[in-house]
């Protein structure tokens, strides 16, 4: 039932249409998302207790049999998930950070309100029963759904709804991990995909309010209590470079196995769909008989590694066992995020590597636990392809700034090593496997179906190469373009003048009567042809960091026949996406 009358919504839309008033709505979203993220954590704790020995006691199960039944709990949780998803299939179809990214890129930021409950319930069951998954993904979805719901309720514009989706996601992450900066960067790097003052400000407000709400409900505690670390020797940075390569390889193995498990359960496991999460839970539960460390999100085990309380041989084995358990849990149909498992794998890889280098060179290297801290962020940053987010998140989760230099270099090297094997984050790769190809937050298939000739502006202002500077100023004063092809007497392009080139020359008063167009023009010009598609054009815009490109004749790169603007491409893309949504 709609609790707000139509007139109220219309007045609210006018009020929130102003940028500074949108910040108020962002604050409300921050409060709601922060509260929801905290409640979600409590739900995980509740189910964790319910599937423990204490919970079995409530069911009057004989205490002597508890330890023999604990390994079956992931299977029981998987069975509950399977039955729930059987009756509510949207619970799995709408699950995952990739769905939030897809909603922003394709569906105008619209997320169904029921996603909040579906995600919270199914993910808390999966994690609480011992499934190897994290709370990051579900928390993002819950916050994003709250932002989307409020944006739709007040019938705000598509762009504002997308911003509010990002604000909700940021608030959820910030409250869940007590990490406001990381929440902002996660939202901008992964969800919204762009940085402007109009997107940044609401996201910051929501992240701050979400953090305050989380602290009010849970207390102001860091996620991991670790000793102070430091860079022992300047030459030690070489080992962190090597660790970055190692973590990049581990992240690639993590991602690859994750998708292979999903494919295996989809095509090779011949049981009813609703039974597959239980099969995955049985496998993970069986593994936990010998290695209980693989269960759940693994924060306790990570803290042991970060404080030097874990044997290096066990840490080495847990790298592969956690990758296996996470792939099986989520691949079989369990619901949860990959952030916590990737942190876990990184901590174990870092601890193993650190033990080796410290044993080799104890006087110039830090202890294994220092490398475990750095490894955490490096693997997670590579898996998500968001190194900046993870650099800040690691700092906020540990409250340890002393090893920021190793963290920075290792995260960057790890991300680039990963890109040598796969250029997409785990979220974008998931969408790609489903036939949705996104680049820079936009659907490649839509851009690829359109061509430069469909969008280019044929009204080109050219400047003769011998035109004096005073005449150039007079010419551009009547034009709306930002780039001007410089041509010779035959009309062949010899270079290009940008508005910034002209502006810089204008400040050189002593040159005004001396220079001509060819003197200040850029001679090496990148161009497009009418047959190029708009995806290729956008890639070139991004590579060159320009806003306009000349369009030349096919076979004659010196004959300019038009200009293509980045803004015109985006406008055409948005129109096509709108028509796509209307047709659905």
Predicted confidence at residue 474, as pLDDT, reads 83
| Token couple for 179 | 């990490």
Query: Which H or E element spans position 560?
Result: strand 556-565
Topology of the domain covering 6-218: Clc chloride channel (1.10.3080)
| Token couple for 370 | 């220092």
459 exposure class (CB count in 10 Å sphere: 0-12, 13-18, 19+): exposed
Instruction: Evaluate whether 202 touches 28 at the Cβ level (below 8 Å).
Output: no
| Token couple for 253 | 């193995």
- Strands of 56-116 (E only): list them: none
Cα dist from 474 to 276, 469, 478, whole Å: 71, 9, 7
Buried b (16+ CB within 10 A) or exposed e, 73-102: bbbbbbbbbbebbeeeeebbebbbbbbbbb
CATH number of 444-583: 3.10.580.10
- The torsion angle over the Cα atoms of residues 36, 38, 43 and 46, rounded to 10 degrees, is -160
Please state, in angstroms and rounded to a whole number, the distance separating the CA atoms of residues 98 and 111. Answer: 12
Instruction: Evaluate whether 83 touches 172 at the Cβ level (below 8 Å).
Output: no
The CATH architecture annotation of domain 234-436 reads: Orthogonal Bundle (1.10)
| Token couple for 311 | 């044997």
Predicted confidence at residue 145, as pLDDT, reads 94
Please state, in angstroms and rounded to a whole number, the distance separating the CA atoms of residues 327 and 338. Answer: 9
Domains 6-218 and 234-436 in one fold: yes
In the predicted model, residues of the chain with pLDDT beneath 70 are: 1-20, 57, 59-68, 91-94, 195, 228, 435, 437-446, 506-513, 577-584
Instruction: Evaluate whether 147 touches 30 at the Cβ level (below 8 Å).
Output: no
pTM of the model: 0.78
Please state, in angstroms and rounded to a whole number, the distance separating the CA atoms of residues 175 and 221. Answer: 11
Ordered by start, the domain boundaries in the chain are 6-218, 234-436, 444-583
């Amino acid at each position: 039932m709609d609790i707000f009358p139509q007139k109220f919504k219309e007045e609210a839309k006018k009020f929130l249409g102003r940028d500074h008033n949108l910040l108020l709505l962002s604050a409300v979203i921050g409060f709601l998302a922060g509260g929801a993220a905290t409640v979600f954590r409590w739900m995980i704790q509740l189910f964790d207790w319910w599937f423990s020995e204490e919970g079995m006691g409530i069911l009057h199960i004989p205490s002597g049999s508890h330890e023999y039944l604990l390994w079956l709990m992931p299977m029981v949780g998987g069975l509950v998930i399977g039955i729930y998803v059987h009756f509510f299939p949207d619970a799995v179809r709408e699950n995952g950070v990739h769905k939030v990214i897809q909603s922003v890129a394709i569906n105008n930021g619209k997320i169904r309100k029921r996603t909040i409950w579906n995600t919270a319930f199914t993910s808390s069951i999966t994690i609480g029963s011992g499934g190897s998954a994290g709370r990051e993904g579900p928390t993002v979805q819950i916050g994003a759904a709250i932002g989307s719901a409020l944006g739709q309720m007040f019938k705000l514009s598509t762009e504002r709804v997308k911003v509010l989706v990002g604000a909700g996601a940021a608030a959820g992450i910030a409250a869940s991990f007590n990490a406001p900066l990381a929440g902002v960067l996660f939202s901008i790097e992964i969800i919204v995909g762009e940085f402007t003052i109009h997107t940044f400000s609401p996201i910051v407000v929501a992240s701050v309010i979400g953090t305050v709400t989380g602290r009010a409900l849970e207390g102001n505690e860091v996620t991991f209590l670790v000793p102070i670390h430091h860079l022992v020797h300047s030459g030690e940075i070489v080992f962190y470079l090597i660790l970055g390569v190692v973590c990049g390889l581990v992240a690639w193995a993590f991602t690859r196995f994750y998708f292979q498990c999903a494919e295996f359960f989809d095509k090779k496991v011949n049981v009813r769909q609703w039974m597959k999460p239980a099969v995955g839970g049985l496998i993970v539960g069986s593994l936990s008989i010998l290695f209980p460390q693989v269960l759940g999100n693994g924060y306790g085990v990570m803290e042991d590694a970060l404080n030097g309380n874990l044997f290096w041989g066990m840490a080495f084995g847990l790298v592969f066992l956690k990758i296996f358990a996470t792939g099986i849990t989520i691949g079989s149909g369990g619901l949860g995020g990959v952030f916590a498992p990737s942190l876990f794998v990184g901590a174990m890889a870092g601890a193993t590597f650190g033990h080796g280098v410290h044993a080799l060179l104890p006087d110039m290297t830090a202890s294994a636990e220092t490398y475990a801290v750095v490894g955490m962020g490096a693997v997670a940053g590579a898996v998500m392809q968001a190194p900046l987010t993870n650099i800040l998140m690691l700092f906020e989760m540990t409250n340890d700034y002393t090893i920021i230099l190793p963290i920075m270099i290792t995260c960057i090297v790890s991300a680039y090593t990963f890109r040598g094997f796969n250029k997409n984050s785990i979220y974008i790769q998931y969408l790609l496997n489903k036939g949705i190809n996104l680049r820079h937050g936009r659907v490649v298939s839509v851009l690829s179906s359109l061509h430069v000739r469909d969008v280019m502006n044929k009204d080109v202002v050219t400047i003769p190469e011998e035109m004096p500077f005073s005449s150039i100023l007079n010419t551009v004063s009547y034009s709306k373009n930002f780039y001007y092809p410089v041509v010779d007497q035959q009309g062949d392009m010899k270079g290009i003048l940008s508005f910034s080139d002209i502006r810089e020359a204008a400040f050189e008063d002593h040159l005004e009567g001396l220079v001509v167009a060819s003197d200040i023009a850029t001679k090496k010009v990148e161009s497009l042809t009418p047959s190029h598609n708009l995806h290729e054009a956008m890639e070139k815009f991004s590579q060159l960091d320009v806003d306009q490109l000349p369009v030349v004749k096919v076979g004659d790169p010196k004959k300019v026949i038009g200009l293509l603007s980045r803004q015109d491409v985006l406008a055409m893309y948005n129109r096509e996406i709108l028509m796509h949504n209307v047709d659905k």
